[in-house]
Every structure is written in structure tokens, then in C-alpha cells.
Structure 1
Amino acid sequence: MDNNRLPHASDYEYKKGVKQSNLRQNYSGNYNYSYNDYKQGEEPPMRSARSAKQVKKRPSQGAAQRERERRKAAERAAREKEARKEKQKRDRLLQREKERKLRIKKRKKRIRKAKRLFRAFVILLRNILIVMSILAAIAGTLYLIYDKVFTIKEIKYSGNKWVSDETMTSYIFKGQSKPNLIRFYLSDKFKDKKSIPYVETYEVHCDWPNKLVINVYEKEVIGCIRKDNLYYYIDKDGILLDVTNTKKEDVMIIQGVSVTDYEINKSMGATESILKDIFEIKKQLDKYNLSFEEVNFDYKSEYVLRKGGLYISLGKGEYLVEKLFELSQVYYELPGTGTLHLENCSGQKKNLYFTAD
């Protein structure tokens, strides 16, 4: 009998009658039996010996325990993984539900806000319509007052000698059939004044509700230059003011002064010193209420006044104030024709004489 074979279940059948004391254990922990262990005349059944390769080695108790623990750990890990998946799934569902509720809440909030805005817009529109209606009523009332009460009915001018009242009105209220005092007052305050021939400026005084008083300040007309049957009126600065085909009264004709330009509201190009002397002559004549038809600047650069057949020789443009004062003293004693010589008069000398024609 092979002592190295593994025990077999059938071996226990032959243990009958075998002494327990004769049972011995080999080094591998298996129980082996010898022929002496059996009853006399009995032989153990013969079994074919198996090779070591055909024998499966049973795992030890520690390895089996570890295998069971490994399986339990694997099962536990699988359950935990499944639980995590379920938890993640529930979390996703909860998150989607939360987002859905949040979207619904925001949509409801937007709807409420839109309704509030719409109600506010309706209220605002209604208030605007009410205010516009009130303003329209007020505007209509004001227009009636503006049109009826403040329409200018009377205009008074003062200080205008060369420009007529009708001309002033046509320039100031150009294109207005019914001038209004309020509109004119505002335009006069915030706009430039109209450019009017002979007029330096004018001042407007409102006599509410429908009257105007206009003070006119005219330019100083020193005379006119005659050319081609036309009369060119100039001021003290040599600016051409107006052109007419008839001569105005009390305006001297200026002879012997050369000019270069005949455009209205521009300088005619006369010599400044000559204009200054003529202006001084005009001022002194107005001072003494004297009038002459012409002032001639002759080839000798001397000034000669003429009225009909009476000539006043003033000489150079020196001591004009003194010379014209002497003229005022003897003017009304002079005959209708002849020449009064004032060339040699000065502040100290009164050397004047008269020559008859």
C-alpha cells in the first residue's frame, strides 16, 4: 500500500476492527494504514495510485477565508457603486426638478414684472393724454389772447428825419401783416436789429399790450454826390447810404471829391480828411441854422459854399469853426450875389471882405 496516497472515503469502511492505537499519521497529516492494521485474512482494497499532477491540492483554511473576504469586498464594492449610481441619478433628477422649478419661478416673475410695467405704461399714457389735453386747452386760450390782445395797433416813431414811418415799418415788420407785440419783443431782444438805410440804430419801447414807441438814431448825412442825374448820399465816414434820382431837401451837393465805389453800405473811397472837413462844415451850419446848396472842393484844395448866386470862400480846412462863426454873424446882412472871403480868418484875425459880382 502506498503510504503517500491521499485518504479516500472507502478507507473508512475498512477501519472496522482496526485498532485506534495502530492508526498513525504521516508527515503530511493524512492517515495511512498498513497491512497490520486490518484483521487477519482481510486485505485493504487496492486502489490505483494517482500521480501528483492529477491530485488537486485543497486550499488552506486561510486562503479560503481570504477568498470569502475578497468576494464579500467585491460584492460590497458593487453594492456601493450601484448605490452611488442610484444616488447620482436621484441627484440629477432632483437638480433637474430644482432647475425646472427655478425656471418656472423666473418665468412667473417676468410675467408679473411685465404686467406691472404694462399697467404702469397704461397709467403713464393716460396721464400724458390728460396733461396734453390740459396743455392744449391752455395753449388754445393763450393763442386767443396772443392773437387778439397783443396784436400791435399803434406805432410811434421819433428821431427819423431821412426815413419815413412807412419805410421804418416795412423794414422792421417785413412780411408781417399783423405784427404781434410779444413776438416782436422777443425777436428784438434776442436777434440783431434790421439794417435800414440812413439808420444807425433804433430803440424799441413796448407800451403793453398793443403799442410800440421806436426811437430812431439816424446816420449823419453830410451831403450827396451827383453823377449821371443820380444822387449818392454819404455819411461822415464816406459810406454810401442811398441812391435817388431826386435830391432831398437840406442836403448839400458835394463837388470836386473823387470817389471809386458806388455800392450801397460800402465806402465810396473818398479822402478821409476831406470828409472830416465837410462834416465839420455841415455841423457848424446846422448849429447856426444856415443852409447852402453846394460845397465845392476846388483845384486849390479850398472849400467854397454856394447858395444861388452867393459864394462863401472858406479857404483851406483850417479854423473852420472860427470862419463859420464869422459867417453866422454877417450872413443875414449879405446880398444875394457875390463872394464873401473868409480865407484869412483865424482865431485872432477877423480879416474878411465881400466882393460883389
Structure 2
Amino acid sequence: MGRRLKFSNPKLKRILLAIAAVAVFAVGAAAFIWTKYEVTTVTVNGNRHYTSEQIKEIVMEGNYGHNSLYLHYKYRNKSDLNIPFVQTMDVDIVSPSEISITVYEKAIAGYVEYLGRYMYFDKDGIVVESTTTQARDLPYVTGLKFDHVVMYEKLPVEDDQIFKEILSVTQLLSKYGIQTDKIYFDPNRDITLYFDKAKVQLGSMESIDEKMAGLRDIIPRLGGLSGTLDMRDYTEDRGNAKSFFQRDDVQKHAAISENSIIDSVSENEVSVSGNS
């Protein structure tokens, strides 16, 4: 029969008992933290490019992803997340079972396409992101001339003042709730916006706020028409400001004023009548 192990050294016995007590306490504490701090409620703020569900999946991945204490310390002062468009995130403990995730996204003014990738830049023209994914909720800018792109450096365009114009245009698009497919700057820095089958010539930055305000009211009247809306000479203070729309398949122009609507479209012309 086997012998029972006896500890004749009282000091060793006390040490082993202390170790056992610490181990039991540690296991108990871990079990308490695991159950007490299990996340059941999550709120997400500051997210634009990702849905709240996507942010939850990103933050709460892994074996300990549902523990609020673990998440809080994991994302504390962490800035290099390697998540496209996200600068950093904070995870705050509202209660042991509830966390609040605050997303701080990179400030992006627009993006260009280069060698099959989309290069996203900030208000100063500095490239802050490069992906193969096109973000439809951000302005796609074309017409800029450059021969190379370096991450975290400014796009090497001839005149970097154009980035101020891009920022102004994108801010006004947001202000008036206008969603455009593409912004084009020609060699003279005149601006053209693209909407499905139609394009809008805004011209220079002169009276750009008034042009955008007028465009907001005009866009619904164009419907699915294919053609060009000329707003290069549009100014709101002319009283009866007009823009001209030319369909691609005809040579006639339709004058669209603030008091007129498109009331019929035939094969050969666009008919416009007054609202009054």
C-alpha cells in the first residue's frame, strides 16, 4: 500500500497552505470577475463608416471579449488599432455588465484612386488610409494630377490650395444633404459633380454656397434624366436665378428656376412650366 505523504517541516507546511489559499482566492476572484463583469449591454458612439454591430464584433472578439474590465484595459491609450478609418476607440465601463464604446474616426476629406487602390486623405491632403474598398459615403475626387502616393504624406499635386477647395465643397455637400457619386476638378479648378446619369457644372468656387443651396432644391426635379446641368453662372441674389439642363440626346435646353418644375419629358425635349 502507498504511504501518505507527511510534512515534518512546519515552515514548509505553512508555505504550502498559503500557496493553496492564494490559489483558491485567485480562482474565486477570477470566477467572480468572469461572471460579475460579463457584458450584456453595449452602446456605440461616434461611428460613421461602421455599423454599431460591426464595431461590437471588432471590439468584443476573442476569449475575453465579453468581459468589461478586460476590454476597458485592452483599449486604454491604444492608438494603433489597424482598423481602416478608425484612429482610436475608448471602452468605458458604465456598470459591470454595460460598456460604452466611443469611436474616433480619422478626419477624411475625400479619396482618390491610384494603382487600383483608394487613397483617403485629410483636409490638408495627407494620405491617412489606403484600401481596396471604396467608401460610398465619402467624396470620390477626380482630376487631381500626381505621379506617386506615399502614406502619411501629402498628395503631390501642383497646387495644394486645392485641398481647401475640396474641403469647402465636401462640407457644403454635407451641409445641404447632397450625395454625389464623384467630384471632378478640371485643369482650371472648375468643379463638376456627378449624379447617376446627370452631371452638374458648378464652375469656380465663386458663390459656391448659393450654388449648393440651389442644387439641393433642383436635384429632385431632374429625376433619372441623363444630361448636364449648368450652374456656373448661378447666383441666388439675382431674384429669378436660373440654371440650364441639356439632355444628352437632344440639343435643347431646359431652364430650371426656383419657381419652375420639370412637368414632362418627351423623346425630343424637356418641358418646363412655372410653379405659380
Q: Which has the larger radius of gyration?
A: 1
The answer on 1:354 being equivalent to 2:241 is: no
1:78-227, aligned counterparts within 5 Å? Answer: 131-153=18-40, 155-164=42-51, 168=55, 172=59, 176-179=62-65, 180-189=67-76, 191-192=78-79, 194-227=81-114
RMSD between superposed Cα atoms in Å: 3.5
Partner of residue 189 from structure 2, selected from 298, 301, 314: 301
Q: Distance in 2 between matches of 1:164 and 1:242?
A: 20
- In the other structure, the counterpart of 1:38 is none
Q: Distance in 1 between matches of 2:152 and 2:54?
A: 17
Cα deviation, 1:105-151, whole Å, max 9, x if unaligned, reads xxxxxxxxxxxxxxxxx998777666544433322210121233334
Whether the 8 Å CA contact 1:240–1:268 is kept in 2: the answer is no
Q: Taking structure 1 as reference, are residues 197 and 258 closer, same or farther at Cα in structure 2, changes over 3 Å only? A: same
Whether the 8 Å CA contact 1:160–1:218 is kept in 2: the answer is yes
* 1:286 CA drift (Å): 2.2
The aligned length equals 234
Partner of residue 326 from structure 1, selected from 214, 225, 228: 214
| One-letter code aligned to 1:311 | K
More helix by share: 1
* 1:293 CA drift (Å): 1.3
Q: Distance in 2 between matches of 1:230 and 1:191?
A: 27
The answer on 1:343 being equivalent to 2:229 is: no
- In the other structure, the counterpart of 1:284 is 172
Q: Taking structure 1 as reference, are residues 331 and 213 closer, same or farther at Cα in structure 2, changes over 3 Å only? A: same
* TM-score, reference length from structure 2: 0.67
Which sections of structure 2, spanning at least 5 residues, go unmatched? 1-8, 248-276
Q: Taking structure 1 as reference, are residues 183 and 252 closer, same or farther at Cα in structure 2, changes over 3 Å only? A: closer
More strand by share: 2
Partner of residue 253 from structure 1, selected from 136, 140, 143: 140
Whether the 8 Å CA contact 1:255–1:294 is kept in 2: the answer is yes
* 1:191 CA drift (Å): 4.7
Q: Look up the SS of the partner of 2:50 in the other structure.
A: coil
Question: Matched residues, percent identical?
Answer: 22
The answer on 1:314 being equivalent to 2:213 is: no
| One-letter code aligned to 2:141 | I
Which sections of structure 1, spanning at least 5 residues, go unmatched? 1-121
Q: Distance in 1 between matches of 2:196 and 2:95?
A: 51
Whether the 8 Å CA contact 2:79–2:87 is kept in 1: the answer is no
| Bigger relative contact order (CA 8 A; separation at least 6) | 2
* 1:277 CA drift (Å): 1.6
* TM-score, reference length from structure 1: 0.54
| One-letter code aligned to 2:246 | A
| One-letter code aligned to 1:135 | V
Q: Distance in 1 between matches of 2:128 and 2:140?
A: 14
Whether the 8 Å CA contact 1:341–1:354 is kept in 2: the answer is yes
Cα deviation, 1:183-236, whole Å, max 9, x if unaligned, reads 222343455463532124433232432332213233344433234544333343
